[in-house]
């Protein structure tokens, strides 16, 4: 078993009603599996920000693992002690 820290920012923090969660995962879990378990564990509002009605990732959030932005499609392996930050895209103008 391993544990990662999930931190929420902006819109997802409001939906979660908290700023972070500790997520217990099996060893050798990828980002895809991590987000799926987070969606299953979380309230429906967080799950709706992550996945569509078919269970496909929406790819609308910014994902940062240990300070480096990652793409969902790259599906990096998560490790014990990792920190996953989930935030809404920053728009400016």
**In the prediction, which pLDDT does 92 show?**
56
Residue 86: closest CA among 29, 1, 24, 18? 18
Q: Any residues with CB less than 8 A from the CB of 19 and at least 6 apart, and which?
A: 7, 8, 13
H, E, C per residue of 19-67: CEEEEEECCCCEHHHHHHHHHHHCCHHHHHHHECCCCCECCCCEEEECC
**In the prediction, which pLDDT does 12 show?**
86
From first to last of the 93 residues of the chain, give the pLDDT tens digit: 999 999 999 888 988 889 999 999 999 899 999 999 998 888 888 888 899 999 899 888 999 999 999 999 999 999 999 999 999 877 655
pTM for this model (two decimals): 0.90
**In the prediction, which pLDDT does 16 show?**
87
**In the prediction, which pLDDT does 15 show?**
85
């Amino acid at each position: 078993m391993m544990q990662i820290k999930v931190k929420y920012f902006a819109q997802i923090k409001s939906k979660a009603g908290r700023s972070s969660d500790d997520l217990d995962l099996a060893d050798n879990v990828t980002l895809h599996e991590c987000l799926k378990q987070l969606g299953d564990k979380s309230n429906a509002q967080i799950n709706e920000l992550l996945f569509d009605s078919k269970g496909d990732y929406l790819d609308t959030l910014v994902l940062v693992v240990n300070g480096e932005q990652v793409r969902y499609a790259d599906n990096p392996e998560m490790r014990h002690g990792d920190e996953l930050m989930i935030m809404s895209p920053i728009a400016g103008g």
